[in-house]
Amino acid sequence: MKKQIGSARLIIILVALLSLVAGVLSYQMLFADKRMEIIRTFDQPRSVAAFEGKTHDGNDFSEHDFLGQWSIVFFGFTTCPDVCPTALSNINGMMKNIDQEYLKDTQVIMVSVDPERDTLEKLNQYVPAFNKDFIGINAGLKETQKLTKSIGVSFFKVPGHDDPDNYLVEHTARWFVIDPLGRRYAYISPDQTPKHKDLIQTVSEDYNILRDKAADIHAAGQ
C-alpha cells in the first residue's frame, strides 16, 4: 500500500515538473525577442551632417528633411548597370510588404554619388520609375561628401578604358535607416540574406521588428 502511495506521489511530482517545464518553454517561445537577420543597428546613433541638395523635382532638401519620419537611404547613380536598379527594385518590394502603420511615415531616398552627370532631369526620369514616392537627391559633390562621411559611405570614380568621361562609380551598396531625430540608426546588408530566404520578405520582416523595438524604446523612455 505504501509503495502504491509513493509511486502515485512520484507520478504527481513528475507531471507537475513536466507541466512547469512546458510552461516555461511556451512562455519563452511566445515572448522570445525577435532577432533581425540583415538589419543591424548602430551602437551609437549619430546625427547626419548638415548638407544642402535638391530633390528630383527641384525642391530643397537638407538634413532637416529627415526629421519627424523614418528614412531608407540608398546611395547610387542613374547609369549604374546593376546594383542600383536591383536595390531600388528590392526597396520598392520591401515598401509593399511592411506594416501599413510603418509605411505611412517612411520615405525612401536615393542620393546620387554621380552628381556631375545625374542632373535633376535624369533623376526625375530614373528614381520615380521604381516608385512614384521615391525621392532622388543631387547635392553636388562637396555636400554629398559631407553626408556620406557622416553616415559611413564611400564612393569613387572608376574611369573607362577608352574614354575617361565614360566612368562608373564604385560605392557602398548598403541601405541605411535614418530615424526621426535625423540620426543614422541602422544599416541593411542585402548580401547577408540567408540563402534559403527571400530578400524582400526578410528585409520587410526585419524592418517591422526594427520599428517595433524602436517604439518599445520610445515608450519605455516616456
pLDDT digits (tens, 9 = 90+) for 47-98: 999 999 999 999 999 999 999 999 999 999 999 999 999 999 999 999 999 9
196-213: b or e for each residue (b if 16 or more CB lie within 10 Å)?
Answer: eeebbebbbbbbbbbbee
Domain membership flag for residue 140: yes
β-pairing, 175-178 with 70-76? antiparallel
pLDDT at 160: 83
pLDDT at 172: 96
CATH number at residue 154: 3.40.30.10
φ, ψ of residue 30 in degrees (nearest 5): -75, -40
pLDDT tens-digit series, residues 171-222: 999 999 999 999 999 999 999 999 999 999 999 999 999 999 999 987 877 5
pLDDT at 17: 56
Arithmetic mean of pLDDT, 141-166: 92
Domain membership flag for residue 209: yes
Position with higher pLDDT, 90 vs 166: 90
Taking the C-alpha atoms of residue 119 and residue 122, their distance in angstroms, rounded to an integer, is 5
Total domains present in the chain: 1
Domain membership flag for residue 44: yes
pLDDT tens-digit series, residues 6-37: 555 655 555 555 554 444 343 333 334 589 99
pLDDT at 204: 98
The contacts of residue 184 (CB under 8 Å, 6+ apart) are 42, 45, 46, 48, 150, 151, 152, 176, 177, 178
Domain span holding position 59:
39-221
pLDDT at 4: 54
Taking the C-alpha atoms of residue 182 and residue 49, their distance in angstroms, rounded to an integer, is 9
Domain membership flag for residue 3: no
Domain membership flag for residue 210: yes
| The pTM of the whole model exceeds 0.75 | yes
Taking the C-alpha atoms of residue 92 and residue 78, their distance in angstroms, rounded to an integer, is 16
Residue tagged 516616456 (cell numbers): 222
- Grid coordinates in use for 155? 564612393
Alpha helices in 32-70 (DSSP H): none
pLDDT at 29: 37
> What is the DSSP-derived secondary structure letter of residue 130?
T
Domain membership flag for residue 199: yes
pLDDT at 206: 97
pLDDT at 19: 52
Domain membership flag for residue 106: yes
Domain membership flag for residue 26: no
Position with higher pLDDT, 122 vs 8: 122
The contacts of residue 133 (CB under 8 Å, 6+ apart) are 107, 108
Nearest Cα to 127, choosing from 137, 116, 117? Answer: 137
User: 75, exposed or middle or buried, with CB in 10 Å at 0-12, 13-18, 19+?
Assistant: buried
